[in-house]
Amino acid sequence: MMQSLYDRLKDRFNLGEFTGRRADLAFVTVSREQLRPLLLHLRDLEGFTHLVLLTAVDWIEDDTFQLTYLLNDRARARDIGVRLMLPRDDTQMDSIHDLWPTAATYQRELREMFGIDFPDSPRVNEDFILEGWVDIPPYRREFDTLRFARETYPERPGRETHDPATYMKQQLYPDGEDNG
C-alpha cells in the first residue's frame, strides 16, 4: 500500500530514500523545497489529514538534524513519516502552522529544545517548557546533560547505585544458590 503511494509520488516530489516499516507505516525523505507541496498533497488528496507529531533527531555525526513529520490517514489506518534533513549550522526551517495549527506548538518545542528556528510561527520565541534557560538547547547532543546536572543541582551525599540484576540476585539468594 505504502510502496505504491511512494511510486506514484516519487518523481513528482523528487522523493529520496523510502523505508517501509510495516504495511501501514513508512518513511520517506524529502527536500526542503518539496516539503510543503508534498504535505499539502498528502493532506488534501491522499487523506493524511492528521499531524501526529513533529519532532527532530540530532545526527551529530552527520552534522544534520532530521525533522520528522508524522502524518496519519484515519480512514485507511496508515501512517507516513516525512523526513527532512537540515544542516546543523543553518537551523532555520519553514513553518507549517498554516497547514496544521497544532504544528505551532511542536515548533515552539523544537525551537526551545533543539534551537531550530521557525520564523513566522505563532509565539515561537516564547518559553515553552523551560523557563530562564541560559545554556545551549538541552536536546542537542553536544549538551552534556549529566555534567550540567552535576554542576547545577547539588547532590545529597550517600547515593549508591547497583546493577539491578546482580543486586536482586544477592538479595534473593544470599548464599549464591539459584534454586529457582
Partner 1 sequence: MKDELDKRLDNQPDGPERRGSLKDIPVREELLPRWVKGPEGQEYVVEPLQDYFCQAGPTVQTPAYTRIIEDLFNWARAESLWILGFGTGCGAIEMRPLMTPRFDAYRYGIQWRPTPRQANLFVISGYLSVKTLKRAIRSYEQMQNPKYVVGLGSCTINGGMYWDSYNTIKRLDDYLPVDLYITGCMPRPEALLQGFDDLKKLIRAGKAEGANHYAEHFDWYKANQKRVIKDWDMPDYSW
Q: Write out the residues near partner 1 by the rule CB under 8 A.
A: 129-136, 138, 143, 145-146, 148-149, 151-156, 158-159
Contact residues for 1 (Cβ-Cβ < 8 A; gap 6+): 23, 24, 76, 78
Q: Which is closer to partner 1, CB of 49 or CB of 55?
A: 55
**Residue 26 β-bridge partners:** 20, 80
Minimum CB separation of residue 159 from partner 1 in Å reads: 5
DSSP H helices, the chain, are 2-10, 32-44, 103-113, 145-152, 164-172
Tallying the residues shown for the chain, one arrives at: 180
Q: Which of 90, 60, 58, 54 is nearest to 72 (CA)?
A: 54
CB of 158 to partner 1, least distance (A): 8
Nearer to partner 1, 132 or 180 (CB): 132
Q: 536536546: which residue's cell?
A: 139
CA-CA distance, 52 to 87, in Å (whole number)?
Answer: 24
Q: Min. distance of Cβ 170 from partner 1 in angstroms?
A: 20
> Closest distance between partner 1 and the C-beta of residue 146, in Å?
5
CB of 103 to partner 1, least distance (A): 24
Provide φ and ψ at 34, rounded to 5°. -90, -5
Which DSSP letter does residue 98 get? T
- Find, among 4, 69, 67, 17, the residue nearest to 40 by Cα: 69
Of the pair 8, 162, the CB lying nearest partner 1 is at: 162
Task: Give 7 or 127: the residue with its C-beta nearer to partner 1.
Answer: 127
Task: Name the minimum Å distance from CB 96 to partner 1.
Answer: 26
Nearer to partner 1, 22 or 156 (CB): 156
Task: Please identify, using beta-carbon distances, which residue of 158 and 176 lies nearer to partner 1.
Answer: 158
